[in-house]
Amino acid sequence: MQACITCEASNKCGLKDERLFDLCPKLKTFEDPGKINLHPDEKNPVIDYNLLSRYFGYSEFRLLQKDIILDVLKGNDVLVLMPTGGGKSLCYQYPSILFKGLTIVISPLISLMKNQVDSMRMNGIAAEFINSSLNYEDIIKIKSALLQNKVRLLYIAPERFTIPSFLSFLKGLKINLFAIDEAHCISEWGHDFRPEYRQLKQIRQCFPDVPIIALTATATTKVREDIINQLAISDCRRYLASFNRENLVYSVKPKQDAFRQIVDFLRTKSGESGIIYCYSRKNVETIAEGLKSAGFRALPYHAGLSSNVRSQNQEKFIKDDIEVLVATIAFGMGIDKPNIRFVIHHDLPKNLEAYYQETGRAGRDGLKSDCILFYSYGDRQKIEYFINQMSNEKERQIAQNKLNDIINFSETTLCRRKLLLGYFGEDFKENNCRGCDNCLLPKEEIEATGEIMTILSCVDEMGERFGINYVIDVLIGGKSSRLLNNGHASLRSYGSGKTLPKKMWHGFIRELIQRGYLNLEGEYPVLKLSQKSRDVLSGSKGGMKNEKIYLVKPHIIEKPVKIEQDIADAGLFEKLRALRKTLADAEDQPPYMIFNDATLKQMAARRPCKPEDFRKMTGVGDKKLERYGGIFMGEIRRFCEKHDLYGHPVKKQSSEYVTLEMLDQGMDLDEITLKRNLSLNTIYGHIEKLILSGENIEIERLIKKDKIEKIISSILELGGEAMKPIKERLGDNYSYGEIRLVRARMRKKGRV
């Protein structure tokens, strides 16, 4: 027992227990934040959407959030598997404003704690963190606030939880919930195992009656079971959201002159934020310096830099003082920057879990973002070399299997999204994801029977003793001293492929390996014929005499095409982004803490000049309307006046936003079609685009609830790609337009 900190040494209140929130007459608890219709102990809690809007600026929950929150409020243990950007944090932040006590969040990184706490404070929610960055006096002040029940959320690192004196202090607080962020770190089967997370098993022992919510974005079935066992939450409710990040576009490019490809790409992303991941510190430094020389604001981040320099470079990236951070995988876990528009892997990741988590740092605000991976066989060899150095055979085999998975992802000609989701046990039913290079630009296949015979014959003729590059040198008639000294210029195969460039032969050989015609074996890998290719050469199964074999035409690198935006919207967006940066610098905060890019783009498109319109922007709560509304509306008005848009913000917008304005005014579909002199199908098309772009449209106003439910059932059964089978199933009482709106909302929520 300890004396009352609030009453100091005099201990006037006479308390000898740290549970002061119920007893000490000097303490003040929170006022209820709005109309609270529940107490956490109730069996049937009710969600108050006014609080969601007031504190977080959202009018509705994302998929699964409401159900998760209700379980948390009922006091159930919960496991949440939700992709990055899917809204995991809200699952414990929203309940924290309803609980009478404290929510403790276990978080792995100091930088993430600070960002989360700053974000909560800007939303008007009392939050604190305790970690090694604070001095003794700061910690004492925070402890005093905790004892006075003045804090809703407390962020701590897993190491601090194990300090006996701190654990004793926690036992004196009224704790309603423990939230374990990045919960996959507790599992040795995960890609980012952290031994200190193992100590969190003490939570159940020390606080048997306090519920636990464990949250992660990357966990296979085995890792999920390990999390549950380690935290002793066997009876937990499990929520597994789709791993699908619809706004991310996955592309794999051949690693040929990769730096030039990166520069060409960055020139189409002027002013946008992005991360370039490299395998080695040397590559990080080389690329960062090269980009700076090319005129880009870029900085390096790797473990070889001092902690001070790393911290400064990360801070500059978060605050938009630089555009590009070139980093090893030492950077990124817990980064909460939502406007990262691209993630580039200059080198091959070790496994698909790491790739998924690293690409997941892009597009957390829901806007379209690019994930580009440069792939070469040389990168595969580097990783395999290190795998072969492992002394533990089991670990070596696990690492090799994980490497094989990322290689399959890189080399596949099928939908990359389907393969990636399948790795995590999710069946993606669509035939075309519309969000990877293989689906957006299907690879052209060419009849390559002759080329295949040329390659296989060359490998056979040289006794299967040479690697890919050497075989290609023979095919194109190379003049290297090694080739000439070996006498290979006299082979029948020598020069047989000189009419095609090297990169085409590389592409053909890579695909033959993928299809099982060739194998790569040995510490210094050489090409070997498989039984399949021996059958082809011998003609024992008909060979190629009477059949043609097609291969994917190797990718030819072209300069990316820049897509032009609406000039007025783009101009206003840049003005608002500059204003946001100015305000953020003045407050020493990352710009996204004020408003994220998605909110700014919505402002640029809809140009709200009145408080009631500004409040409708996604992410604008009461606190932010009060604090920033006047400043941003002033900038919007000035822009409209300068460009002759003042007083007519809607007329200059796209046709879809004219329809949205009419919906906001309460008009029904018939009224809109009459006033706009447009067909009903066109208006349905407008609304579909608006929903997919992130606008919150209540389709229940437009379609009867029972019809919505039947459409949802049909889409789940038949898939959402083709509408004709759905329409035929539902009958004449349902229109294509109604189906499109329901499908759009399902896609927005990740259900199809």
Is residue 30's pLDDT more than 70? no
Q: How confident is the model at residue 11 (pLDDT cuts 50, 70, 90)?
A: very low
Q: How confident is the model at residue 547 (pLDDT cuts 50, 70, 90)?
A: low
Q: Which of 74-88, 258-272, 437-451, 738-752 has the highest mean pLDDT?
A: 258-272
**What tokens were used for 651?**
């007329």
* pTM exceeds 0.95, yes or no: no
Distance CA 388, CA 399 (A): 10
Mention every residue, 6+ apart, whose C-beta is less than 8 A from residue 644: none
Is residue 340's pLDDT more than 90? yes
Is residue 190's pLDDT more than 70? no
Q: How confident is the model at residue 554 (pLDDT cuts 50, 70, 90)?
A: low
Distance CA 553, CA 571 (A): 41
DSSP at 700: G
Q: Which residues in the chain are classed under CATH 1.10.10.10?
A: 445-552
Is residue 562's pLDDT more than 70? no
The pLDDT of residue 15: 35
Contact between residue 529 and residue 464 where contact means Cβ atoms under 8 Å apart: yes
Distance CA 58, CA 23 (A): 37
Q: Quick: pLDDT tens for 633-672.
A: 988 888 887 776 644 444 345 678 788 878 877 788 888 8
Ordered DSSP codes for 312-333: HHHHHHHTTSSSEEEE-TTS-T
The pLDDT of residue 475: 94
Quick one: average pLDDT of 387-400? 81
Name the one residue in this structure whose structure tokens are 């992709």.
83
Say how far residue 213 (Cα) sits from the centre of its chain.
Answer: 21
Strands (E) across 541-679 are located at 550-552
Closest among 616, 593, 458, 483 to 537, alpha carbons compared: 458
Closest among 262, 245, 219 to 363, alpha carbons compared: 245
Q: Where are the alpha helices (DSSP H) in 476-555?
A: 481-485, 502-514, 531-538
Higher pLDDT, 29 or 335: 335
Three-state SS at 375: strand
Q: Where are the alpha helices (DSSP H) in 389-499?
A: 393-411, 416-423, 437-440, 449-461, 468-475, 481-485
Q: Quick: pLDDT tens for 689-740.
A: 888 877 778 888 889 888 988 888 888 777 777 788 888 888 888 888 899 8
Quick one: average pLDDT of 502-519? 80
CATH number of 655-748: 1.10.10.1390
Class of domain 31-240 as given by CATH: alpha beta
Q: What angle separates helix 377-388 from helix 393-411, to the nearest 10 degrees? A: 170
Mention every residue, 6+ apart, whose C-beta is less than 8 A from residue 440: 249, 434
For residue 212, give the amino acid letter: I
> What strands lie across the sheet with 369-375, from one edge to the other?
248-254, 369-375, 340-345, 273-277, 324-327, 298-301
The pLDDT of residue 141: 93
Give burial (CB, 10 Å; 0-12/13-18/19+) of 53.
middle
Distance CA 80, CA 88 (A): 8
DSSP at 589: S
Contact between residue 303 and residue 291 where contact means Cβ atoms under 8 Å apart: no
Helix (H) or strand (E) holding 742: helix 736-748
Higher pLDDT, 42 or 737: 737
Distance CA 456, CA 65 (A): 55
Quick one: average pLDDT of 163-192? 85
Q: Which of 195-204, 311-320, 422-431, 693-702 has the highest mean pLDDT?
A: 311-320
* Number of neighbouring beta carbons within 10 Å of residue 698: 10
Distance CA 178, CA 213 (A): 6
The pLDDT of residue 130: 92
Q: How confident is the model at residue 391 (pLDDT cuts 50, 70, 90)?
A: confident
Distance CA 317, CA 111 (A): 13
Closest among 231, 198, 213, 182 to 79, alpha carbons compared: 213
b/e 191-213 (16+ beta carbons within 10 angstroms → b): bbebeebbebeebbeebeebbbb
Q: How confident is the model at residue 212 (pLDDT cuts 50, 70, 90)?
A: very high
Tell whether the torsion through CA atoms of 383, 403, 505 and 464 is positive or negative: positive
> φ, ψ for residue 249 (rounded to 5)?
-110, 115
Q: Quick: pLDDT tens for 74-83.
A: 999 999 998 8
The pLDDT of residue 424: 83
Q: What is the mean pLDDT of the chain?
A: 81
The pLDDT of residue 116: 85
Quick one: average pLDDT of 601-624? 86
Class of domain 248-440 as given by CATH: alpha beta
Q: Which residues in the chain are classed under CATH 3.40.50.300?
A: 31-240, 248-440
Q: Quick: pLDDT tens for 129-149.
A: 998 888 889 999 999 999 999
Is residue 320's pLDDT more than 80? yes
Is residue 291's pLDDT more than 70? yes
Q: Which residues in the chain are classed under CATH 1.10.150.80?
A: 567-642
Quick one: average pLDDT of 13-42? 36
Quick one: average pLDDT of 336-342? 89
Q: How confident is the model at residue 528 (pLDDT cuts 50, 70, 90)?
A: very high
For residue 224, give the amino acid letter: R
CATH number of 445-552: 1.10.10.10
Q: Which residues in the chain are classed under CATH 1.10.10.1390?
A: 655-748
The pLDDT of residue 389: 83
Higher pLDDT, 517 or 722: 517
Q: Quick: pLDDT tens for 644-653.
A: 664 444 434 5
Strands (E) across 96-198 are located at 102-106, 127-130, 153-156, 175-180
**What tokens were used for 303?**
């473990």
Distance CA 740, CA 742 (A): 6
The pLDDT of residue 553: 67
Distances (CA, A) of 271 to 274, 317, 576, 599: 10, 12, 13, 17
Q: What topology is assigned to 567-642 in CATH? A: DNA polymerase; domain 1 (1.10.150)
Of 91-100, 113-122, 167-176, 692-701, minimum mean pLDDT range: 692-701
